[in-house]
Amino acid sequence: MIQLENLHKSYGTGSTEHEVLHDINLTIESGEVFGILGSSGAGKSTLVRCINLLEQPTSGRVLINGFDVTNVQGRQLASLRSQVGMIFQNFSLFQQRTVLKNVTFALEIAGVAAPKRIERARYLLNLVGLEGFENRYPSQLSGGQQQRVAIARALANNPSILLCDEATSALDSTTTASILDLLHRINQELGVTLIIITHSLSVARNICDRIAMIDNGRIVEIGDTEELLSHPHSDILKTLVHNATIENHRHKDISSHDSVIRQDKLAIEDSLIREAQ
Ligand SMILES: Nc1ncnc2c1ncn2[C@@H]1O[C@H](COP(=O)(O)OP(=O)(O)OP(=O)(O)O)[C@@H](O)[C@H]1O
């Protein structure tokens, strides 16, 4: 379980200090898929980076499984980081390392012997559907494949929590669906708690059990995904849902227009064939 209590985060000091997270209170259950929705600059990444202490909260507490980790350092911080994996929009792979060596990296740092870390990396590459890609370099992979490597790498230490910061934002819709399927499987089969940062309602709807809507560093709504998206209360979520509905209609219009054109083409081809016979 992850608990954030009265969490504040400011950047800068003195006259440049500005608070970007204001009094965040949030509990995420173990095994949950929890979405953090919000527009650009709302504070989503900062919030999630406070969970693995990539950002140090200015005040308040972060508790993981009841243990206050807010001020841990040294070995305890390393241990926290190994419990909490993270993936990013731009994959952030090591370009000079092969796929296999990307996945074994954290295990090398942890001092795991070579045969064991290779065995674990092969298991994870199999899990993410990349068996046979061990010796490729990131530049030889598609975006979706790179994100699969990043997921395998993030799981190397067997974390109980995986933070996904806009993990599908750089991918097309088909690849997004396959990565969300993989994340869903990781949640279901390995029991990993997922925290999904997204600005996409369809990503939230596809995978998240609950979502929190963040606006200007504050949680303005939180609840069951379907419930919240069907009955949004805050203006910001109402606008997001409204815009997504318009976008959806536009896609349907375009695809039905495309299908009319396709049917017209088939009819023309049909009559040309008949004429030729
Ligand atoms: N290292 C930093 N130093 C100073 N200000 C920062 C820093 N990181 C983020 N901010 C500011 O904090 C606010 C929240 O940023 P954050 O990246 O958390 O938002 P976000 O919701 O994740 O945005 P996006 O969707 O665009 O990534 C923004 O105003 C941003 O400019």
User: What is the spatial distance between Cα 77 and Cα 5, in angstroms, rounded to a whole number?
Assistant: 19
Pocket test for ligand 1, best of 21, 44, 52, 218 (most atoms within 8 A of CB): 44
User: In angstroms, what is the span from residue 42 Cα to ligand 1's centroid?
Assistant: 7
User: What is the spatial distance between Cα 14 and Cα 98, in angstroms, rounded to a whole number?
Assistant: 45
Answer yes or no: is the C-beta of 191 below 6 A from any ligand 1 atom.
no
CATH number for the domain running over 2-231: 3.40.50.300
Answer yes or no: is the C-beta of 46 below 6 A from any ligand 1 atom.
yes
Q: Is the predicted pLDDT of residue 120 greater than 90, yes or no?
A: yes
Predicted pLDDT of residue 81: 84
- For the chain, which residues make up each domain, given as ranges? 2-231, 232-277
- Residue 156 Cα to chain centre, angstroms: 17
Predicted pLDDT of residue 246: 77
Q: Find the angle CA(14)-CA(50)-CA(209) to the nearest 5 degrees.
A: 140
Spatial CA neighbour of 28 closest among 64, 56, 57: 64
Question: pLDDT tens digits, residue range 234-250?
Answer: 999 999 888 887 766 66
Question: pLDDT tens digits, residue range 50-103?
Answer: 999 999 999 999 999 899 999 989 888 888 888 999 999 999 999 999 999 999
